[in-house]
Structure 1
Amino acid sequence: MEISEEKDSQIGSNLKNNTKLQTGTDTETTTSSCNWSRFSEWVHCMCVVTFDLELGQAIEVIYPEKFTPSEQEKTNICYLAFPDSNSGCMGDTQFHVRLRLAADGSNHQNDNNKNTSLSFEHKRFNTQCNSVQKADKAHYWGFVYFRQRKEASLPRGYFQKSFILLTRLPFFNLFYEILSQLAPMYFLHGLSVIESACYQISNWPSLQAGELLRLSLFETVYQTVIPLANSKGGNHISNTTTTTTTTKTTIDNLNCNFNKNKKLLTCDVYPILQTKNISSVSEIDVFRSLSCVISNVYTLWELVLTAEPIVVIGSSPADTSHMVQSLVSLIAPLEFCAESRPYFTIHDSEFKEFTREQQQQGQSATTTVPPGIIIGVTNPFFVKLLKDWPHMIRIPMNDCFNLTSHLAATTPTSSSSSVPKTSSFTGTSSSSSSSAAANKRINSSTNDNAVGLITKYKPFLKKDKALIKKILIGVNTKRPEHVQSALLRRNFLELTQSFMIPLERYMASLMPLQRDISPFKSAPSPNQFKQDDFLATLDQSGPHLTSPLKGNWKSLYQRFFNSPNFKGWYETRHKELQRTLQSIQLQALSGADLNQWAQGKQEVEIIDMIIKLKQKLKLSSSINENSNNSCLSVNNEEIIVGTTTQLNETRRKLLYQIESMKQSLPDDLKTILFDT
């Protein structure tokens, strides 16, 4: 959302009159007044990257400084903040990137390093939300607003600068809205915009799923609901924008903290309050990107499901980042556990890792295969470098691409009438001629100028031609893009669920019987997952019962078993089974008749049981009473034990058990136990 010139001028005037944030003492006052713990739940930091004649791309601003990235991360941010020179992106361009957190100055993930661990608030949030909204413990999401304009007064004749918002949260719709609000203001008014925005973000409500969140930023209040895990979508709100004239009293109530610190914006900045509803923080309009590969969309679903290497080639990082995210969303709600890079450059610290082929031992010989990653690039160099990758997507230029003609060449049921051009992300470059030239340069780097999916992969399932025909009819009738996206999203959601339901059902069968869980023994482990046993269940309860697609489902499952997506899903479900078993065992222990058990036992056995009960009580006491799902840590794993009410009842019973068993011990041992 662009800020109008009138509002922008008014806000800038208030910033100049009511802030002194550039000076050292005033900055310290502002920093001390911010709730940085709350701020970091939503945003890690904000950066500005400029082009230096001597250094090249260099970071100009990092705020707040206490959250400064590592040197390796800063280098990656610098290169990812600007489109490749061949892209020719003039005007304003928005896109997003994903960069790995560095540990101990390296570019490799280290789960034991504090930089790669999530805060308690993020861990709690991850237990509440769906996998596609989880905070990323190993990567930052970077939302970039790049501006390039001709300016004769500058040495190179161009103004080139990027505003970057770093976060752990994949909230694309929310952060693109915020980015389009903050970046133009920063380019006009400077650092005070960032500092004031950070102060306001630090006063946002805590990150929470399942509740209406009101996020105030300058003259706009963003309203959204992050759905709870496994919710049916009933807590979404519609995308609307309302403008309301607000009284001075209401503004003061909303932003009363500003008047207490004259270094910050006063309430007079907000004579008009705009409320913008965001129906989903993460669901993008997938049709914008998938329209050029709609005839192969079922093949792409299989490739993403099995984490096949895919290179996306476009003329702008706005196009590649949107396409990569659209591909990943095809398998929602299943989490994509392989690597993905919405925009990637040759300067990235992971360049060698992602472009180096890996050795794979086969039945007859050793072959080399690319790593499992979906990568978006704009540099023509990658066309030659990755020419041996098995799957490539070429994104066509929007102003020279006719969707219906493209489908007519690939789909027998399609029509050949003219349709309007499709647009990419809201942040695509404002200069179509320069982007067209960039697209021409990319195409000239290879003999194959075809657009869309280029692959020799033979899918296991037959595509649903009825859906493709429905999408094409929507194009001819000028059906809105968000409706087309909803059709695609619902179809592939149902397809993914049909694929995963047999796996979920089999995984639930690995749970030991409740009668085998004893309060006097350690909690049992889930039974082993056996692939052959699972495949044997498909004839009776396979995906063919819920999906209209026909094909070789068993072979698709076998390919899925070798992918990081299966590994990630299995590890998550296995931990959930362990948590359930721990919870059942803990509740059984609190309700057991330990006095009867203690009869005939030696004192050392009774003392050992009391110590174990105290350990359980100590672990349960460490649970945050305010969280929706109470959890405790056992062997560095979080164990879900139920709601706060259930937890308090379990703790009360454990205390009673401890006191009751102490009565059977001699007085001297009672004293020792009371002191420990």
Structure 2
Amino acid sequence: MDALWGAAPRPPPPGLDSSESPGSTPTAARRLRRPPLPWARFSSWLECVCVVAFDLELGQALELVYPYDCRLTEKEKTSICYLSFPDSYSGCLGDTQFSFRMRQSGGQRSPRSMDDDDGYNKGAPVTLQRETAHLFGYVYFRQVKDSAVKRGYFQKSLVLVSRLPYVNLFQSLLNLIAPEYFEKLVPCLEAVCNEIDQWPPPVPGQTLNLPVMGVVIQVRIPSRVDKLESSPVKQFNQENLLPAPLVLSSVNELDLFRCFQPVLIHIQLLWELMLLGEPLVVMAPSPTISSEMVLALTSCLTPLKFCCDYRPYFTIHDSEFKEYTTRTQAPPNVVLGVTNPFFIKTLQHWPHILRIGELKMSGDLPKQVKMKKLTKLKTLDTKPGLYTSYKTYLHKDKTLIKRLLKGIQRKRPSEVQSALIRRHLLELTQSFIIPLEHYMASLMPLQRAVTPWKTPPQIRPFRQDDFLKTLEHAGPQLTCVLKGDWLGLYRRFFKSPNFDGWYRQRHREMTQKLEALHLEVICEANILTWVKDKSEVEIVDLVLKLREKLVSVSPLPSLLLPPTPIRPSPPLPRYIALRGTRTGQGSWPVMA
């Protein structure tokens, strides 16, 4: 290659890495050597911490944002204020915890806002990647009697704002810091934020010890190459951690059994509604119940990402209120968690409404929500019910329901019941998605079709009819015992945002794989042999094209990561298909 590129390269100017040129994109190593911005470690976990108080004249008011230089827009501040208090405080004496998710509005962002320079999203499961267009809020609301206040009540919320969907971790963190904050106020909060700023960043696949207020939280950050099974955190270095750490089994998983107790007999139907991205309203008596139910529902599709919008807690003050409640168009693909009775009338036109109350028992079993027709939904009626005319494509799994109900009677631990539900939903989603993965893999060109002198061959288009023809011999019936209209379910899935999101993600990964393979064959090619019978113009064109190619793909680490696994065993077929033939779709200008 020296003969092509000329003399040996000069050493880089001071301050540049040996792999960089003055006009090139900084490499990952170069970025790592930059001095970190203030609060950079803190920002890898949280955007900010907010305190929202009730003001007699203003209503909810943002009392504090920390760190102080966090740049929230006025629209975001208003949303946080309204979403941090329950719609009705009358039944919320004491402490209440819940979550919300809101759209990020435009405006200048904080200079330390994460743009995934740390590579987190590349290694994290698609369901746990950092949000770019939304912010999560984790709320600890306290309402207690206080004669020193005019209204007679102390009402305040401590809110953690983050781009990470780590509901279990952040609610556990609030359990530690909120009671202490309400006693000691700002100095305590500043100390906690400084401790979080010393935490190591969330690196997929690593088990971390996170010290805060004399307690060490131990948690494992999931990785996209993990086996999709429930795996408890392995404790380590216990002798150096005194007192014993608070070990969390997961950063994000909820107690599914507790969430789904009133709807156990409808799990199959609700899974289908989530898979198809159907509009659904969850009406609950408190933001705690509404937010947990919405988060449990949207997690049903793991490892498939839920690509529709969802709001664990939604109020009439939300900036999207008019957008979601208009009757001039069909309801959007969104799952809303609400508590205000006003929504019963406002959202009466929605096709699916789940109305749940406080859990009631029928003997020693939880009372189950009944399916009802939408026409029977009355504004003044407070009875729970699943109001929908939807007919499931798959038959109900009665075996699962019997096992869960028998587990209740035998007082089986909640975590075991949750594991049963999680495994059932995981196997159901895997059975549905694996045929799609197999077909998608068959659209990948053969590895031998990738040559150094031509542009990489294109991925063949996804043809729905061709895919449906494969189901007879390679369909979900091979791994799932459930009977039903699988073809009808796939046809409807193709119209959903979840299919669009899945296809775009897979196509992007396959394109990156092709680019990586193309670079590999270029690196292994014998350039000197090729140029022997070529003209000077052709050689110069090749050199320029190679240079352009290398600059366009630098840095490379993201291209070499494996795709998200869907099933641990047996492994999915490689993206490079081992059957059929495929030729390149075009040539580089030098060969034209």
Q: TM-score range by the shorter chain?
A: 0.7 to 0.9
- CA deviation map 1:13-55 (0-9, x unaligned): xxxxxxxxxxxxxxxxxxx998511111111100000011121
Q: Residue 468 in 1 paired to residue 401 in 2?
A: yes
Q: How much has 1:72 moved relative to structure 2?
A: 0.7
Q: How much has 1:452 moved relative to structure 2?
A: 3.9
1:574, 1:99 → 2: CA distance? Answer: 28
1:520 equivalent among 453, 460, 473: 453
Q: How much has 1:67 moved relative to structure 2?
A: 1.9
Q: How much has 1:505 moved relative to structure 2?
A: 0.3
Change (3 A) 1:347 1:278: same
Partner of 1:378: 339
1:280 equivalent among 247, 250, 273: 250
Partner of 1:71: 74
2:300 equivalent among 320, 324, 330: 330
- CA deviation map 1:147-167 (0-9, x unaligned): 011111111111110000001
- 8 Å CA contact 2:257–2:417 kept in 1: the answer is yes
1:642, 1:342 → 2: CA distance? Answer: 32
Q: Which moved more, 1:292-301 or 1:513-522?
A: 513-522
Q: Which moved more, 1:579-588 or 1:202-211?
A: 202-211
SS of the residue aligned with 2:545? helix
The code of the aligned residue for 1:143 comes to Y
1:444, 1:87 → 2: CA distance? Answer: 25
Partner of 2:566: none
Q: Residue 589 in 1 paired to residue 589 in 2?
A: no
Partner of 2:265: 295
SS of the residue aligned with 1:222? strand
Change (3 A) 1:409 1:52: closer
1:120 equivalent among 116, 136, 156: 116
Change (3 A) 1:33 1:531: closer
Partner of 2:216: 221
1:584, 1:593 → 2: CA distance? Answer: 16
Q: Which moved more, 1:587-596 or 1:34-43?
A: 34-43
- 8 Å CA contact 1:132–1:282 kept in 2: the answer is no
1:387, 1:642 → 2: CA distance? Answer: 45
Q: How much has 1:403 moved relative to structure 2?
A: 7.1
Normalized per residue, the structure richer in helix is 1
SS of the residue aligned with 1:453? strand
Change (3 A) 1:33 1:578: closer
- CA deviation map 1:165-205 (0-9, x unaligned): 00111111111111111111111111112211111111111
Runs of 4+ in structure 1 off by over 6 angstroms are 113-117, 239-242, 400-403
- CA deviation map 1:345-385 (0-9, x unaligned): 000111112222464xxxxxxxxx21111100000000000
- 8 Å CA contact 2:285–2:339 kept in 1: the answer is yes
Overall identity of the aligned pairs, in % = 46
When normalised by structure 1's length, the TM-score is: 0.73
The code of the aligned residue for 1:328 comes to T
Q: Residue 346 in 1 paired to residue 316 in 2?
A: yes
Change (3 A) 1:206 1:302: same
1:50 equivalent among 53, 58, 77: 53
Partner of 1:23: none
SS of the residue aligned with 2:404? helix
Q: Which moved more, 1:196-205 or 1:577-586?
A: 196-205
Gaps of 5+ in 1: 1-31, 106-112, 252-271, 360-368, 411-442, 624-629, 632-638, 644-676
1:82, 1:402 → 2: CA distance? Answer: 35
2:98 equivalent among 95, 106, 109: 95
SS of the residue aligned with 2:517? helix
When normalised by structure 2's length, the TM-score is: 0.83
1:98, 1:185 → 2: CA distance? Answer: 25
The code of the aligned residue for 1:58 comes to A
Change (3 A) 1:102 1:403: farther
- CA deviation map 1:535-588 (0-9, x unaligned): 111111110111011000001001111111101000000000100100000001
The code of the aligned residue for 1:590 comes to C
Q: How much has 1:86 moved relative to structure 2?
A: 6.1
1:597, 1:90 → 2: CA distance? Answer: 79
Change (3 A) 1:326 1:408: closer
- 8 Å CA contact 1:579–1:641 kept in 2: the answer is no
After TM superposition, the structure 1 = structure 2 runs for residues 494-509 of structure 1, keeping only pairs within 5 Å, are 494-509=427-442
2:216, 2:111 → 1: CA distance? Answer: 31
2:69, 2:548 → 1: CA distance? Answer: 37
The code of the aligned residue for 1:292 comes to P
Compute the RMSD of aligned alpha carbons: 2.8
Gaps of 5+ in 2: 1-34, 564-592
Partner of 2:200: 205
After TM superposition, the structure 1 = structure 2 runs for residues 157-556 of structure 1, keeping only pairs within 5 Å, are 157-233=152-228, 236-238=231-233, 273-357=243-327, 359=329, 369-398=330-359, 404=365, 406-407=367-368, 446=379, 448-556=381-489
1:57, 1:598 → 2: CA distance? Answer: 73
- 8 Å CA contact 2:71–2:110 kept in 1: the answer is no
Q: Which moved more, 1:46-55 or 1:590-599?
A: 590-599
2:151 equivalent among 148, 156, 159: 156
Q: Residue 60 in 1 paired to residue 63 in 2?
A: yes
1:241, 1:163 → 2: CA distance? Answer: 32
The code of the aligned residue for 2:243 comes to L
- 8 Å CA contact 1:320–1:377 kept in 2: the answer is yes
2:338, 2:80 → 1: CA distance? Answer: 16
Change (3 A) 1:444 1:300: closer
Change (3 A) 1:620 1:338: closer
2:539, 2:160 → 1: CA distance? Answer: 57
2:492 equivalent among 541, 559, 567: 559
The code of the aligned residue for 1:338 comes to C
Change (3 A) 1:101 1:595: same
- 8 Å CA contact 1:335–1:569 kept in 2: the answer is yes
- 8 Å CA contact 2:364–2:409 kept in 1: the answer is no
1:409, 1:233 → 2: CA distance? Answer: 33
The code of the aligned residue for 1:129 comes to A
Q: How much has 1:118 moved relative to structure 2?
A: 4.7
- 8 Å CA contact 1:220–1:276 kept in 2: the answer is yes
- 8 Å CA contact 2:42–2:197 kept in 1: the answer is yes
- 8 Å CA contact 1:98–1:142 kept in 2: the answer is yes
1:396, 1:203 → 2: CA distance? Answer: 42
2:407, 2:541 → 1: CA distance? Answer: 70
Q: How much has 1:400 moved relative to structure 2?
A: 6.8
Q: How much has 1:454 moved relative to structure 2?
A: 1.9
1:640, 1:240 → 2: CA distance? Answer: 31
1:178, 1:86 → 2: CA distance? Answer: 24
- 8 Å CA contact 1:238–1:279 kept in 2: the answer is yes
Partner of 1:147: 142
SS of the residue aligned with 2:245? strand
The code of the aligned residue for 1:313 comes to M
The code of the aligned residue for 1:390 comes to P
Q: How much has 1:404 moved relative to structure 2?
A: 2.4
Partner of 1:674: none
Partner of 1:38: 41
2:287, 2:38 → 1: CA distance? Answer: 34
SS of the residue aligned with 2:353? strand
